[in-house]
Amino acid sequence: MVGSAAAEEARGAVTELADLARQLELSGYLLAAVLVLARVSPLIVLTPFLGGPTLSAAVRTVAAIAVAAAVFPTAFDGPIEGVDAGVFVVLMLKEFVVGTGLGLLASIAFHALSMAGQLVDQARGATMSQLQNPQTGDESSPLASLHLQLGVVLFLLVGGHRAFLAAVAGSYEVIPLLELPLSPSGLGAVALLSAQLVGGAIAAALMLAAPAVTAIMMSDLALGLIGRTAPQLGTYFMAMPLRAALGLTMVLLSLSLIVDEVVPMLEYVVSLARHTMTLLHGAG
């Protein structure tokens, strides 16, 4: 009898809480929060300056909730009501696609920096010394990790993370939670923009790596000529340490050039996020 009375009391408490949630429209608020998380979560995983994939699941969840709470007032137009399960799933997929697109486009500049370091390490023969990149979780060369972390630090110093989050919050004005304004022409424009950005990232990586790679190639040419004229010097054994030291020296000497070029490139990430939203809406 005591057990049945306790069960009845528990069921009554649950019923009262459900009635209170309906009165306060908490279910509508919860649905809106889930949609905001669907757009924000890919950003935490894909963008190096917001954590990247190396964060643990618990930290990633906390970071996503914190970012979602920051942009929720802009995204929220009112409790979500009258939306069936099928439509809600489609809305979640739309939010996930938008967040993934923003994250991928925002991370292109950082991958260009990593590619530049990888090219230099490839030229100086240091690609065998792989280490884990804390921003991506992948194995990368030392200079690739250095370039990527330098880009993240510069982006944070110039306040790029705040401007990017403001752009993400502004994206809800262009593409609201409960609308599907993804036009075919807009998707085509975004695809073309993505292809152009990939090409630009490759060009930027080549430009940033050019001083060190050129110096290494010139040293190889000089050692080749010396080896032809004086084979007894053993230039083969001199080449590896010389290339490694020369590549690292040129990277350090050209660091100011890299910083001058990186800051505008990272600032472009923020404007790119806004422009992408207008393209998806079909207004660009």
Segments making up each domain of the chain, as ranges: 2-281
pLDDT value for 247 = 76
Q: What pLDDT is recorded for position 79?
A: 66
pLDDT(229) > 80: no
Is residue 101 within 8 A of residue 197, CB to CB? The reply is no
17 has pLDDT over 50: no
With cut-offs at 50, 70 and 90, classify the pLDDT of residue 164: confident
pLDDT at 129: 58
Flag whether pLDDT at 19 surpasses 70.
Answer: no
Give the integer Cα–Cα distance in Å for 58 and 271.
31
Over residues 68-95, the mean pLDDT reads: 78
Mean pLDDT for 86-95 is 82
Higher-confidence position of 19 and 105: 105
pLDDT above 70: residue 177: yes
Question: Residue 273 in contact with residue 170, Cβ under 8 Å?
Answer: no
What is the arithmetic mean of pLDDT over 98-110? 83
d(CA 235, CA 107): 41
pLDDT at 126 over 50: yes
- HEC states along the chain? CHHHHHHHHHHHHHHHHHHHHHHCCHHHHHHHHHHHHHHHHHHHHHCHHHCCCCCCHHHHHHHHHHHHHHHHHHHCCCCCCCCCHHHHHHHHHHHHHHHHHHHHHHHHHHHHHHHHHHHHHHHHCCCCCCEECCCCCCEECHHHHHHHHHHHHHHHHCCHHHHHHHHHHHHHHHCCCCCCCCCHHHHHHHHHHHHHHHHHHHHHHHHHHHHHHHHHHHHHHHHHHHHHHCHHHCHHHHHHHHHHHHHHHHHHHCHHHHHHHHHHHHHHHHHHHHHHHHHHHCCC
Least confident of 5-9, 227-231, 237-241: 5-9
What pTM did the predictor assign?
A: 0.71
Residue 21: predicted pLDDT: 45
Mean pLDDT for the stretch of residues 102-121: 84
Percent of the chain scored above 90 by pLDDT? Answer: 0
- Mean pLDDT across the chain, nearest whole number? 74
Band (pLDDT 50/70/90 cuts) for residue 233 is low
